[in-house]
Structure 1
Amino acid sequence: MLSDVLVVTALMSAGVVYGTDVFFAVVGRAALEEARDESVTDVMGRLHRYGDARMPVFGALGLLSTLGLVFAAGFGSAASTWALVALAGLLTQLAAYVVVARPVNTILTAAAAQGNVALASRPLQRRWDSVIVLRALGLAAGMAGLALAAISLR
């Protein structure tokens, strides 16, 4: 029963982050390439202001419930092994976010808050974009691992 609750919680929480990152990998990145620099600074700064404040709840809940699943499913079981795969994917996304994306988010958020839309946002956005596919793929591995863990629990 605990394993079922953990896998559902992990899937739903990590799924929020997965959907966001896949959207930006597939749609957002291309749209931002075509946008004016001022628009990128203003809109992305404001998106990151809210995203960086609200998304960690989903990421942390996804990570913690996945880690709990590793143990609750019975260490060494198929479900536990798939949960470890999921955990590796989630941690890959988190590392790319913390090392590359978060510093860019901080700069764009400050620029938007100060009304500094003249900031040279294009190089910053390209740096952020440089890891979005890796983040989406890490999360895809996480989601697949969680789905396979759920199936293994049956």
Structure 2
Amino acid sequence: MLAARGVTLLELLLVLAVLGILSAAALPAYQGHVQRSQRAQAIALLQENAVFLEEFYHRHGSYKLTPTSWPALPAPASPPDGMARYRLIFGSVPRNTDDGYYVLRAIRLQVADETEVISLTQTGIMKLCLGRDGVERCELVH
């Protein structure tokens, strides 16, 4: 007759240690994937807002309602439902006063010591700017 064998405390601790190491290695990769996914959704909504503005321009001859006001964006937050990760707004740049020009921005919310802004102009130029510790790094988005 065989004796009943259970899991020893040492085996359990070894399994927990291995799981801890694997989790610690996988967590940053998972967080990076989630952030890239959220950024891609914000970019898609920026482009959706740009299409809305182009249609608005063709109907009204301007991107603006009046010289000092813009139409309401169809997608002012990303994601559109649930907790917003990005706020989509008209950028505050001097050229935004021109009737034939706009800059849309997606600003990442709830980031303590970092800034992230994705901007899109009426010419289709999209740029991602990341800031940390007073240093900003920008790159074109394709």
TM-score, normalized by the shorter chain, greater than 0.5:
no
TM-score normalised to structure 1 length: 0.35
More helix by share: 1
Greater RCO structure (CA 8 Å; 6+ sep):
1
Structure whose alpha-carbon radius of gyration is higher = 2
TM-score by length of 2: 0.37
